[in-house]
Amino acid sequence: MIVSLSQLIIGSVDLIAAFLLMFGLWRMASPVTAPSGILVAGVGMLVAVVVSFLYVFTIDAAAKPYLALNVGLAVAALLIGGGVAWWSGRKVAITAMPQAVALFNGMGGGAAGAIAAVELFGGRAHGATQLIVTLAGALIGAVSLSGSVIAWAKLDSLLKTPLKVPGLQVFNGAVLLLAIVVGGYIVFVVSSGSTPLLAMPQLITLFFGIALVYGILMTLPIGGADMPVVISVYNAFTGLAVGLEGFVLQNPALMIAGMLVGAAGLLLTLLMAKAMNRSVAKILFASFGPGAKRKQGAIKGSLKPVQASDAGIFMRYAKSVIIVPGYGLAVSQGQGKLFDFVKLLQAAGVSVKFAIHPVAGRMPGQMDVLLAEAGVPYDLIEQLTDINDAFKETDVALVIGANDVVNPEARTDKTSPIYGMPILNADQAKKCYVVKRGEGKGYAGIVNPLFYADNTFMVYGDAAAVCVSMTEAVRGLGSSAAAA
Known catalytic residues are 404
**How would you list the strands of the sheet with 351-356, edge to edge?**
381-383, 351-356, 320-325, 396-400, 431-436, 456-460
Separation of CA 292 from chain center: 25
Asked whether 382 and 309 are in contact (CB, 8 A), the reply is no
Is 190 near other proteins (CB under 8 A)? no
Number of residues that bind other proteins (CB under 8 A): 136
Closer of 17 and 434 to other proteins (Cβ): 17
Question: Could you tell me how far CA 80 lies from the centroid of its own chain?
Answer: 26
Site for other proteins in 214-233 (CB under 8 A): 231-232
Phi, psi of 380 (to 5 degrees): -90, -10
179 touches other proteins (CB under 8 A): no
Q: Which stretch binds other proteins (CB under 8 A): 108-116, 162-170, 293-301, 471-479?
A: 108-116
From 18-26, 211-219, 278-286, 297-305, span contacting other proteins (CB under 8 A): 18-26
- Contact between 69 and other proteins by CB under 8 A: the answer reads yes
Q: How far is the CB of 250 from other proteins (least distance, A)?
A: 6
DSSP string, 311-330: HHHHHHT-SEEEEEE-HHHH
Distances (CA, A) of 260 to 25, 41, 128, 155, 238: 10, 13, 26, 26, 11
List the one residue from 16, 19, 95, 114 that touches other proteins (CB under 8 A): 114
Considering the rule CB under 8 A, would residue 74 count as an interface residue with other proteins?
yes
Q: How far apart are the first and last CA of the chain?
A: 79
- The CB-of-78 to other proteins minimum distance in angstroms stands at 5
Quote the least distance from Cβ 469 to other proteins, whole Å. 21
199 binds other proteins per the rule CB under 8 A? no
- By residue count, the chain amounts to 484
Tell me if 19 contacts other proteins by CB under 8 A: no
Could you tell me the CA-to-CA distances from 255 to 205, 248, 249, 250 in Å, in that order?
A: 26, 9, 9, 8
Q: Does 77 bind other proteins (CB under 8 A)?
A: yes
- Taking the complex as a whole, the smallest distance from the CB of residue 168 to other proteins amounts, in Å, to 28
Using CB under 8 A as the binding rule, whether residue 151 contacts other proteins is answered as no
Shortest Cβ 103–other proteins spacing (Å)? 7
Q: Which is nearer to other proteins, 21 or 406 (CB)?
A: 21
Residue 445 in contact with other proteins, rule: CB under 8 A: no
CB of 201 to other proteins, least distance (A): 9
Binding marks (x or -) toward other proteins, 364..393, rule CB under 8 A?
A: xxx-xx--xx-x-xxxxx-xxxx-------
Contact positions with other proteins (CB under 8 A) in 242-301: 242-243, 245-247, 249-268, 271
Phi/psi at 383 (5° precision): -95, 160
**Binding residue (CB under 8 A) for other proteins from 152, 314, 327, 339:** 339
Q: State which of residues 134, 146, 172, 235 lies at the interface with other proteins (CB under 8 A).
A: 235
Q: Between residues 315 and 453, which has the closer beta carbon with respect to other proteins?
A: 315
Q: What angle do CA 153, 440, 322 make, to 5 degrees?
A: 90
* 229 Cα distance to chain centroid: 7
Question: Residue ranges of the alpha helices (H) in 92-167?
Answer: 97-121, 127-155
139 vs 175, beta carbon nearer other proteins = 139
Residue 227: CB minimum distance to other proteins, A: 12
The per-residue DSSP string of 236-252 comes to HHHHHHHHHHHHHTT-H
Q: How far is residue 95's CA from residue 362's CA, in Å, rounded to a whole number?
A: 10
Q: Which stretch binds other proteins (CB under 8 A): 166-174, 291-299, 348-356, 390-398?
A: 348-356
Asked whether position 104 contacts other proteins by CB under 8 A, the answer is yes
CB 480 to other proteins: min, Å: 18
Q: State how far the Cα of 237 lies from the Cα of 262, in Å rounded to an integer.
A: 7
- The residue (of 269 and 456) whose beta carbon lies closer to other proteins is 269
Q: For 187-206, b where at least 16 C-beta lie within 10 A, e where not — what string?
A: bebbeeeeeebeebeebbee
Could you tell me which residues come within 8 angstroms of residue 244 by beta carbon, excluding any fewer than 6 positions away?
112, 133, 134, 136, 137, 140, 258
